[in-house]
Every structure is written in C-alpha cells, then in structure tokens.
Structure 1
Amino acid sequence: MLFTEDFLHYVWKFRLFDRIGLQTDDGEELEILSVGMHNTDAGPDFHNARVRIGETVWAGNVEVHLSASDWQKHGHTTDNAYENVILHVVYRNDVPLVLPNGRKVPTLQLHDRVPDELYNRYHQMVFGNQSIIPCENSIAAIDGLIMHNWLTRVLVERLEKRSTAVIERVALNRGDWEETFYQFLAANFGFKTNALPFELMAMSLPQLTLAKHKNNAMQVEAMIFGQAGFLNDDFQDEYPLKLKKEYDFLQKKYQLKPIEKHLWKFMRLRPQNFPTVRLAQFAALIVQSNHLFSKILEIKDVNALRALFTSVKVNDYWTDHYRFDVLSSKPAAKTLGESSIDILLINTLALFLFSYGKQHQQQYYISRSLKLLENLPAEHNNITEDFVTLGLKINNAFESQALLELRNNYCNYKKCLQCGVGNKILKLG
C-alpha cells in the first residue's frame, strides 16, 4: 500500500482506524480521549491531545510518522519541541522510541487498523487518472448544504489572501483607501492582458492630481493618455492634438513622468478591449465619479453599483476610433459591457468591501462583500466550465469565485485530505 504521512494525519485526526483493543507497543491498554489540534506549523503534529495509558491519563503532543525510525531521520531527537510528546503514532513500528533523557515514548502502530476501503478511496482520488479534478466522479453527488458550507469557507480564504495585498498597499499609501482603490481599479480595467501598465500608469498619476481637474474632462483625459505614453507621437486628428497640448502643459506643472508605451499590448485583443479604449473609459469614469470608493461604501444595491459604470460616456472621438488617427470602418459606442462591469465588481468592489471590513473589524462590510458576490452572475471561464461538465450548477459569482479557489489551491495540488468535499467523499465512499 502506498501511504503518505498526510493520509496518516488524516486517519488520526478523524479517528478513521479500528479503535477496538488499542495497545501501546509495550502492551499497555490505550484509550484516545482527544486526538488534539492539528498543527500545520513547525513542531509536533497534534497539540493538546489526551490519552489514557493503563490507569494514567496523559496530556500533551502527538507525533505521527509512517515509520517509527522517521523520528530520528527528521531530526526530532535533538529538538526540545518534541520533549512533551506523549504518544508516537506510526503506520509501522520498526524501532522503539527512546528520548536522550532515557524516557521511552509510547507508540501506537496503525498497521492493519486502517480500513482497506478507506485507503482505496484515498488512493483512487490522489493517484488515479482523473482528467479534471481528483474527485471528478463523486463531486456532483455531494449534498448541497455541505458543498455550500465548504465553498463559503474557501471563498473567505480567497478574499483573506487577496485582501492582504490591498491592506499592504493602503499602508504604502499612508492609509489612503481612495488612492488604493483607484490604483487597483485601474489594474482591473486592464484585465489580465494590460493590468500591469494600467497599474503603473495609475501609480504615476495620483488621484488627487486628477481631482484638481475633475471639471475639465479634456485635461483628465490628457493626463491619463499622457501618463500611459500615448501622446508622444505626431498626430493628424484634432482630438489627440488637443490632448497632447494639454498634457505638455500639465506634465510640466506636475513634473509627471509617463510610463513606456511599449508596455501596452494590442495583439490578440478584440478592438473594444484595446488599451486606448479602456483608458478612455477609465478617464470618463474618473471625470464622472470623484471619491469613488466613498460612494461604494455607501451604495448597497447591486444595480446602483453597476450604474456607476454603465453610465460612463467616453469622448465622442472614440465612437469611430479604436486608436488615435485610425478611423474605424464600423462605428460603435465604447461603453463598458455587462460582463466587463461584473468583472470589475467582483475583482475590485467586492474585494475592497471585504478588505475594508477586515481592516476596520466591521463585519457589516464583509457581509456586504459576500452579498454582492451572491447577486452577481457566475463567471464563465475554463475552470467554471470544467465544474459544469462534472455536473455542478454554478448559480452566482460567490460560487464561481469559490470554485476558482478550490481548483487552484486544493484540486490542483490534490489537497483532498484538507478539503471538505474530499473528506466527505472519503468517509462516505
């Protein structure tokens, strides 16, 4: 049988072994009162366990190994952190465990006590030939309540991790949530392809500078396109010529340093997703909505949040242009599409509501973040499509975001033993 130490941890943690007639390696009667708290950091594997050996109840730590000799191999003999181990749990007891002070550590051997069917289910999940995820043949049968509870936990894990970057940036911005929101929103306006140059542009152009010109759309557009590096060319059209003239003045006034134009990517993008169009939309949003983050903290209705983006109107020049000086043969309004707005709501607004609530210890904003995701449609991408193929119904962005985290940080690494879904499948078969 191909065991892993993680599997043995799992067996001990959930007591999934035959507990009838337990004895230590010295033949003393053994009763497990508490397996302890699983420790994923350095030190013994389980803290604060309680066991009865003979007539004595012991409290302390439990260490788990595949073989008893692994204690020596792992360097525990000279580590003081392991002096309080009250029980050594092993699959095979190949050598007795005696500490340097002469104390013999009682050992429990689990060989022949782990059910074959449990091991077979584990082996099939972790070492099988599944094409999508380890539990692809069973996940659709999981009870809806169990799935929802686990996805809720996984979603919170995702938001907790992502909020760390937000809070760190707030600190760099000296506690300025508006500036931080502006920078993250800019990055998400670039979506995946142009996220970096968008973020660099925003960081080179403080929101406070733009706010000074909120009543002059041409100047706001000039600074955004100028800082993006798009106003260094010689133009023929009147609109970019005006932008360049405004930018030349404002660049000197604020000592602005633009980013390099070559950072922007146009290849393999549909014209409506060209960075020039996205920059025009971003500029229009800045003109329309000053102190945007403060508004988001106040607005509760998802449709009202959407309206902040649906009502954005770019300069008329972009109706028949996707690039400067290049007339389009197919004029079209350059409004943000519904799916693009939903992505911004998911990746920026929901994240910032969660981060703000976490930083200020206000559950109200955390709950609003989760509620917002519940009221947004599920994302459509390769990962969500895979789960749909396996028989799951994805109802909203709450679930699609959770499934992204599940796939990327559990399924891809075969962390079935740490997964609520995997645990349920292993226990039930």
Structure 2
Amino acid sequence: MTEDLLQYLWKHKKFDVTQLKTTRKENLILQNVGVHNTDKSGPDFFNALLIIQEQKWAGNVEIHNKSSDWYTHNHENDSAYDNVILHVVWEDDMDVFRKDNSVIPTLQLSDYIAKNLLIKYEKMFLENTQKWIRCEKQLPEISRFILSNWQERLFLERLEQKSIFILKLLEDSANNWEAVLFKLLGKNFGLKVNGDAFLSLTNSIDFSIIRKCSNNQIKLEALFFGQAGLLENEIKNMYSSDLKKEYCFLKNKFQLNKDGVLPFHFFRLRPPNFPTIRLAQFAMLYFKSPQLFNEVIRIKSINEFYKLFGVETSSFWENHYTFEKESKTRKKKITKSFIDLLLINTIIPLKFIYARTIGKDSEEEMMELISQVSYEKNTIVSNFKKLKVPVENAMHSQALIQLKNRYCDEKACLKCAIGNKLLNGD
C-alpha cells in the first residue's frame, strides 16, 4: 500500500462512506474530505468537516500507511499537525496522541475498500514498472474525447510551468518585456547545446544597447560576436576586421564586459545550427524588427510569424559557416521548423504570460495558435505515436512531453486523467 493511493482513495471517496467508524467504534460521518495539500510539508488535507459521535469537527486530516508513521515522521514535534482531527491509515498499529494526551480519532481505511479496486490498481500500476509507461497496454482503451481534454489541460499546465522562468526573467529585467523577449529568444536560438551560452550573452547586454544599435546591422553583429568571444582569433578578412573595430568601439562606449558569458560550442552541431549562423540570424532579426516585442504581441496569424522571423543572414554568411573557412554559397534563412520551435518555447509562452499580466484570458487564442504548429519529433512523441496516441500538432506533442515527464516518469498515475479512467472504469 502507498500513501499516494490512500490519498487518492480519501480525496475521491473511493470507499463505502455510509457506515464509517473509527478504530474505537465511534460513528463517523464524512461531510467534506478537505482540500488536498500538494506541498511536501503539513497535513495532507486541510479544512475537512466531520461528525464523530454527533460532535462536529473542522480541521485537518493526515494520511499514513500505518499509524506509527506519525512518530516515524516526527509529527508529534511539529505544530503544523496540532489541528489534525482525523488520522486515516491503512493499518492501525498504535494510538496517536495530541499534546493534551487525548487520542486522535483514527479511520482504518482497509476495512472499507473493495478488494477488486486494489487488484485492478496492482495489476495496472505495480506489475508494469518495467514498461516505458505503466499503462501502455491499456492506453488504446482510452477514448479520443478523454485524451483530447487531457492533452489540452496538460498543454496549459506546461505553459504554467514555463511561466516560472519567464516571470523570473521579468523580475530580473525590472518588468522590461522587450528585454525578456530578447533573453528568451537568445536562449532558444542556442537550442540545447548553446542555450545557456546564448542566455548568458543576452544577460551581458543591457537591452537599451540593443535599441541604440538596432538601426545598424554591423553594430548588432559586432556586439553579438564580440560578446560571444568569437572575434578573438586572428582572422584575415575584411568582414572580421570591421567587426573587431566596431566591437572595440562599442565595448568602450557601453562599458561592456564578458564576465559570466559561457563558451559557445560547435561540436556535434549541424552547420546550420552553428552559433555563428544563429547569432547572425539573431542580429538580422533585431535589425529588421527593432520593435519586435510589439510585433510579437500584435500578431495572431502563424503565417505572419513565419514572415516576421523568416530572416536571412548578412551576405558574408551566405558562403561561410565560420569566420575562417569559405563554403558553398547558400542562403541561410531561418526555417519554418526553427520558427516552430521559437513559437513553442518562446512566443506562445510569452504571449500567454503577458496577456495574464494585463488581465486578459488568452487560453483560446494560444490553443488556436499552437494547434497550427507542427508537432515536435522526439523520442517521447514517437513512442506515444507507437501506442496509437493521436499526435497532430504541437499542442499534442507538448502535452505528451508534459505527460511523460510529470506523470509517467514520476509514477503519478493517480493524478493522471488516463490513470483515473483506467482505475475507475467509468
């Protein structure tokens, strides 16, 4: 027996509530199970309402596998548990006392749970621990309606999760939304390999400097490449010399330093994702759209986003991937697939949080936008597709990533709509 299951059984009243008695044979009427406390500290349920032997009680409920766990967890020394009015356990192996030496009423839940429910739980969630996800055999039984509703909730949950980082950036930037967008875009231009390096670079440049340089493409490129430490090698071409001269001027003018800027990596990257190419595209984006934040907030159409972000590099990078070596001439425009990643990881989360801060409900708008974005191709999405889970757009793929990382991997089946449906069968 697990405490997670006991909490689930209590929360959803998955037992016969009509003839409840405490372990001391006192009549127990359950009026309200209380509010589930999802924090790691304090009683499991707050503000429960009970009647024990015609005496009304309002307070907290603590749930354990055994009564003795109360002492194992040192609750007797924690004042947060002083207002516990009922101890719900699977096995009552000892009395638990309040500070005034009165016994806390105890409900032994094992006396009221149907055996078939426990058998189903064990078969579904405990016997399949070696599988990719516990319920993969039963997953095809879940209706498209339940899956669709759950995916929408998971997507919004993932947006909420991403909002934590965005709000931290907002706080660090003194509520400067333009600066937040600059940092978020930087991190996502760097992808996984250089994301932290790009973020450290954007953190090293006050956004007011970007505003002052945005009317000059060479200034922006010099600023980005110089702060990234990519102009330090001896390179013999006019373009590199111009960037070095411009960076020296900007460095002195704005008192720039590279303290805290992480190294940029080329290893194991395809040439289109080299930091040199992404920085050149990043510079061109802010040169073409100096009012980028206003555009991002205004635009609602995915085609307009493709147009806004579909910029090319400056001419030097058409036949270079690095400063040193010339390559075959090729336009290096930001692709739709890369813009999709920006929409998923930067634009939609930012628009969602911004709308909330100005008191606007944007859930429907964000759902419509994310549903037009192609789904991500990764191991999680591929495995769910093998299990016949429909994946048609980025809302689905984001939801499935959230499902795998926050529910399946954490064995939180009882908090999952799919797990609930399989367990209850109704």
Q: TM-score range by the shorter chain?
A: over 0.9
Contact 1:62–1:86 (CA<8 Å) still a contact in 2? yes
1:152 counterpart residue number: 152
Q: Which aligned runs of 4 or more in structure 1 are off by greater than 6 angstroms?
A: 259-262
Find out whether 1:388 has 2:353 as its counterpart: no
Contact 2:124–2:135 (CA<8 Å) still a contact in 1? yes
2:190 counterpart residue number: 190
1:15 counterpart residue number: 13
Find out whether 1:93 has 2:92 as its counterpart: yes
Which residue identity does 1:372 align to in structure 2? Answer: L
2:355 counterpart residue number: 357
Contact 1:134–1:411 (CA<8 Å) still a contact in 2? yes
For residues 333 and 47 of structure 1, the distance between their equivalents in structure 2, rounded to whole angstroms, comes to: 61
Q: Which string of whole-angstrom CA distances, capped at 9 and with x for unpartnered residues, describes residues 244-281 of structure 1?
A: 23223222222222469981111111111111111111
Once the two structures are superposed, the pairs formed by residues 23-422 of structure 1 within 5 Å of their partners are 23-41=21-39, 42-127=41-126, 128-258=128-258, 263-310=263-310, 312-328=311-327, 330-364=328-362, 366-422=363-419
Q: Which string of whole-angstrom CA distances, capped at 9 and with x for unpartnered residues, describes residues 299-340 of structure 1?
A: 111110121111x12112212211113011x33211112111
For residues 267 and 167 of structure 2, the distance between their equivalents in structure 1, rounded to whole angstroms, comes to: 34
Contact 1:350–1:370 (CA<8 Å) still a contact in 2? no
Q: Select between 171-180 and 235-244 the one with higher mean Cα deviation.
A: 235-244
Contact 2:197–2:262 (CA<8 Å) still a contact in 1? no
Contact 2:371–2:395 (CA<8 Å) still a contact in 1? yes
Cα distance, 1:36 vs structure 2: 1.9
Tell me, what secondary structure is at the counterpart of 1:108? strand
Contact 2:49–2:56 (CA<8 Å) still a contact in 1? yes
Which residue identity does 2:112 align to in structure 1? Answer: R
For residues 295 and 51 of structure 1, the distance between their equivalents in structure 2, rounded to whole angstroms, comes to: 56
Q: Which string of whole-angstrom CA distances, capped at 9 and with x for unpartnered residues, describes residues 3-55 of structure 1?
A: 11111111111122244533222223333222222122333222222333344
Classify 1:130/1:246 alpha carbon distance in 2 versus 1 (closer, same or farther; 3 Å): same
Classify 1:218/1:59 alpha carbon distance in 2 versus 1 (closer, same or farther; 3 Å): closer
Tell me, what secondary structure is at the counterpart of 2:89? strand
2:2 counterpart residue number: 4
Tell me, what secondary structure is at the counterpart of 2:252? helix
Tell me, what secondary structure is at the counterpart of 1:333? coil
Tell me, what secondary structure is at the counterpart of 1:9? helix
Tell me, what secondary structure is at the counterpart of 2:332? coil
Q: Select between 35-44 and 169-178 the one with higher mean Cα deviation.
A: 35-44
For residues 243 and 307 of structure 1, the distance between their equivalents in structure 2, rounded to whole angstroms, comes to: 28
Q: Select between 382-391 and 31-40 the one with higher mean Cα deviation.
A: 31-40
Tell me, what secondary structure is at the counterpart of 2:210? helix
Contact 2:227–2:261 (CA<8 Å) still a contact in 1? no
For residues 108 and 85 of structure 2, the distance between their equivalents in structure 1, rounded to whole angstroms, comes to: 14
Cα distance, 1:87 vs structure 2: 2.4
Contact 1:228–1:260 (CA<8 Å) still a contact in 2? no
Cα distance, 1:222 vs structure 2: 1.8
For residues 251 and 60 of structure 1, the distance between their equivalents in structure 2, rounded to whole angstroms, comes to: 62
Using the size of structure 2 for normalisation, the TM-score is: 0.92
Using the size of structure 1 for normalisation, the TM-score is: 0.92
Classify 1:87/1:202 alpha carbon distance in 2 versus 1 (closer, same or farther; 3 Å): closer
Tell me, what secondary structure is at the counterpart of 1:286? helix
For residues 262 and 59 of structure 1, the distance between their equivalents in structure 2, rounded to whole angstroms, comes to: 55
Q: Select between 167-176 and 205-214 the one with higher mean Cα deviation.
A: 205-214
For residues 27 and 260 of structure 2, the distance between their equivalents in structure 1, rounded to whole angstroms, comes to: 74
Q: What residue ranges of structure 2 are gaps of 5+ in the alignment?
A: none
For residues 394 and 401 of structure 2, the distance between their equivalents in structure 1, rounded to whole angstroms, comes to: 10
Contact 2:228–2:263 (CA<8 Å) still a contact in 1? no
For residues 43 and 83 of structure 1, the distance between their equivalents in structure 2, rounded to whole angstroms, comes to: 10
Contact 2:200–2:262 (CA<8 Å) still a contact in 1? no
For residues 230 and 160 of structure 2, the distance between their equivalents in structure 1, rounded to whole angstroms, comes to: 37
Tell me, what secondary structure is at the counterpart of 2:404? helix
Q: 1:424 aligns with which of 389, 396, 421?
A: 421
For residues 379 and 180 of structure 1, the distance between their equivalents in structure 2, rounded to whole angstroms, comes to: 24
For residues 261 and 21 of structure 1, the distance between their equivalents in structure 2, rounded to whole angstroms, comes to: 66
For residues 107 and 262 of structure 1, the distance between their equivalents in structure 2, rounded to whole angstroms, comes to: 57
Percent identical among aligned pairs is 40
Which residue identity does 2:349 align to in structure 1? Answer: L
Q: Which string of whole-angstrom CA distances, capped at 9 and with x for unpartnered residues, describes residues 352-387 of structure 1?
A: 1112123333224x5433332122111111111111
Q: Which string of whole-angstrom CA distances, capped at 9 and with x for unpartnered residues, describes residues 370-414 of structure 1?
A: 332122111111111111111101121112112111111111110
Contact 1:320–1:332 (CA<8 Å) still a contact in 2? yes
Contact 1:271–1:322 (CA<8 Å) still a contact in 2? yes
Contact 1:201–1:259 (CA<8 Å) still a contact in 2? no
Contact 2:28–2:52 (CA<8 Å) still a contact in 1? yes
RMSD between aligned alpha carbons? 2.2
